Amino acid sequence: MKKIICFFFSCLFGYSLLSAQTKLNRANIVIIISDDHAYQTISAYGSNLMQTPNIDRLAKEGMICNKAYVTNSICGPSRAVFLTGKYSHENGFKDNETSHFDAGQNLFVKELQNNGYQTAWIGKYHLGEKPQGFDFWEIFPGQGHYYNPDVIMMDGSTKRIEGYAPNIVEDLSEDWLDRRDPGKPFCLIIGHKSTHRTWIPDTCDLGMFDDKNFPLPDNFYDDYEGRAAAKVQDMTSARTMLPDYDLKMFAPGHPEPTVDRMNAAQRERFDAYYQPVFEDFKARRLTGNALTEWKYQRYMKDYLSTAASLDRNIGRTLDYLDKHHLTDNTLVMYLSDQGFYMGEHGWFDKRFMYEESFRTPMLIRYPGKITPGSSLNEYVLNLDIAPTVLAAAGVGIPKDMQGENILPLLTRTKKTGRKAMYYHYYENGEHSVSPHFGIQTKDFKLIRFYKRVNSWELYDIHADPKRYA
Ligand code: CA
């Protein structure tokens, strides 16, 4: 009997020890989510437009997902899918214009909290102003600003912080990491405003692409033949992109809400850079294609300069983890809330189920689990992140989450992913993109447009992916 009791207690003690160790060793999670960052501009994805050494570091030390997509290519709804692991029609946040996010529903961060994790979201959130599921949050109201952004604090007050948004988001993130309880695992979501319109670079990055001339994408002058929805959109460099609002072509001191927030020193450096560009622009008196192509070049310069700061601050996050000996036990994921057009079809913006907006960059580093330098060519969705993070944390996945746990794909214990992806864009407003839904298999893409235009489009995605889908 004594032996049995001893055995029982040693088992119990062993179990508690194991359980404590398991809890202590549970992976930390850092998810860096940017806004409108195109995979076409990331050197790890083969881009020659610029170098992104810090995102590339994630590719070298982890896995690059070459076929990562979103279920609804628009800021708020994409984030709702990410947090809930449910499609827009289930989580209720279908579009930015008429929907509101119900933060009271279940979210993967709430599951993490219930299982001993500390959770935080810092930076651009874009799902209202009262986050739930986070032990700590400091967020931008709505879109936030590039310069001297307002930050909503947990007590409901708003504080204007001097500086440039990506640097501030990283500073606040590191402050929270410094203050967290080191005895518990954590999940930190770093939300960057970059590279959202209107692409205002940090003062230290102004002019960094001035020597570069960017080649026009092959389909820059697309005639949209046979594509009714593409014909009626309003997101071209030619027609939609505004020299003043988008490309900062205005005189020094001209009132413009995005730059009026700058302090005197910031505005001086801004004007010193843009004024000669503006003077040159006025003198040229460009029209037609010459004007369109000039706008495209300026767009690329501003966008990529904004991306440079984003990449640098991702590097700061990785350096912080190294410095604090957290790298080995932290899963780091980088993604955007969707893709973006860099002149393909003559466009900027997103929304369509065509490749550049449908797809998102996604890179994941998970030391000891994911092979460094590996790549994944199976379909994965932003919908999959919630269950995957829970699986990595050893937390049960709620049955009503619709995403798949892709951890077995990331760790190569499973070879084949989903056969098809469902997409649905609901909004019918800004940029005049018709609502549409569709299915993409490994060979075909079928899209049904409705409301604004009524049409079907079917593509063989291998036959002519660049010109069409
Ligand atoms: Ca976005």
Residues forming beta bridges with residue 68, ordered by sequence position? 380
Query: What's at 194, amino acid-wise?
Result: S
Cβ-based neighbour number of residue 276 at 10 Å: 10
Residue 89 CA, ligand 1 centroid: distance in Å: 19
Is the Cβ–Cβ distance between 132 and 107 less than 8 Å? Answer: yes
Does 444 have pLDDT greater than 50? yes
Query: At CA 113, angle to CA 411 and CA 370, rounded to 5?
Result: 10
Ligand 1 centroid to 337 CA: how many Å? 5
Mean pLDDT across the chain? 94
CA of 145 to the centre of ligand 1 (A): 14
In this structure, which amino acid lies at residue 12? L
Give 383 Cα–ligand 1 centroid separation in angstroms.
15
Q: How far is the CA of 357 from the centre of ligand 1 (A)?
A: 10
338 CA distance to ligand 1 middle (Å): 6
240 preceded by a cis bond (ω within 30 of 0): no
Q: Indicate if the pLDDT at residue 16 is higher than 60.
A: no
Q: Are strands 330-336 and 28-34 parallel, antiparallel or unpaired?
A: parallel
Q: What is the pLDDT of residues 150-185, one digit of tens each?
A: 999 999 999 999 999 999 999 999 999 999 999 999
> CA–CA separation, 448 vs 434, rounded Å?
10
The pLDDT, as a whole number, for residue 253 is 80
Is residue 5's pLDDT more than 70?
A: no
**55 Cα–ligand 1 center, Å:** 18
CA of 279 to the centre of ligand 1 (A): 32
Output DSSP code: residue 338: S
In which band, very low, low, confident or very high, does the pLDDT at 13 lie, cut at 50, 70 and 90? very low
Residue 335 alpha carbon to ligand 1 centre in Å: 11
Q: How far is the CA of 431 from the centre of ligand 1 (A)?
A: 14
Q: 447 CA distance to ligand 1 centroid (A)?
A: 21
Percentages helix, strand, coil for the chain, rounded to the nearest 5? 35, 15, 45
Q: For residue 320, is pLDDT > 80?
A: yes
Per-residue pLDDT band for 231 (boundaries 50, 70, 90) equals: very high
Q: What is the pLDDT of residues 381-426, one digit of tens each?
A: 999 999 999 999 999 999 999 999 999 999 999 999 999 999 999 9
Q: What is the pTM of this model?
A: 0.94
Residue 23 CA to ligand 1 center (angstroms) comes to 35
User: Between helices 288-323 and 53-61, what is the axis angle to 10°?
Assistant: 50
Report the Cα 40 to chain-centroid distance in Å. 14
Is a pLDDT exceeding 50 seen at residue 6?
no
Distance 339 CA to ligand 1 centre (A): 8
Task: Give the domains, in start order, of the chain with CATH numbers.
Answer: 26-230+307-423 (3.40.720.10)
- Dist. CA 167–CA 399, nearest whole Å: 38
Question: Strand 380-381 to strand 118-123: parallel, antiparallel, or no bridges (unpaired)?
Answer: unpaired
Query: Residue 3: is its pLDDT beyond 90?
Result: no
Contacts of 308 (CB under 8 A, 6+ apart): 50, 201, 202, 205, 208
Please, how many CA atoms are within 13 Å of residue 185, restricted to the half-sphere of its CB?
Answer: 29
| d(CA 35, ligand 1 centre) in Å | 4
pLDDT attached to residue 23: 54
Lowest mean pLDDT among 3-17, 256-270, 323-337, 355-369: 3-17
Q: What is the pLDDT of residue 255?
A: 86
**DSSP reduced 3-state for 186:** strand
Residues with CB under 5 A from ligand 1 (ion): 35-36, 75, 337
pLDDT for res 256: 86
Distance 336 CA to ligand 1 centre (A): 7
Q: Say which amino acid occupies 256.
A: E
Asked if pLDDT for residue 19 goes beyond 60, the answer is: no
Ligand 1 centroid–CA 12 distance in Å is 50
Calculate how far, in angstroms, residue 193's C-alpha sits from the geometric centre of ligand 1: 9
Q: How far is the CA of 72 from the centre of ligand 1 (A)?
A: 10
Instruction: Say how many Å lie between the CA of residue 177 and the centre of ligand 1.
Output: 26
How many other CB atoms are there within 10 angstroms of residue 272's CB atom?
13
Q: How many whole angstroms from 140 Cα to the centroid of ligand 1?
A: 14
Query: Within the chain, what is the greatest distance between any pair of CA atoms?
Result: 98
Q: 465 alpha carbon to ligand 1 midpoint, in Å?
A: 23
| Average pLDDT for 49-75 | 98
How far apart are the CA of 270 and the centre of ligand 1, in A? 25
* pLDDT value of residue 466: 66
Q: Of all residues in the chain, what percent carry a pLDDT higher than 70?
A: 94
The pair of three-digit structure tokens given for residue 37, joined into one six-digit string: 């960052």
Å from CA of 180 to ligand 1 middle: 29
Distance 124 CA to ligand 1 centre (A): 10
CA of 82 to the centre of ligand 1 (A): 13
Contact 88, 117 (CB under 8 A): no
Confidence (pLDDT) at 24: 53
Residue 177 in contact with residue 188, Cβ under 8 Å? yes
The strand pair at 362-365 and 28-34 is best described as: unpaired
Distance 39 CA to ligand 1 centre (A): 13
Cα(132) to centroid(ligand 1), Å: 21
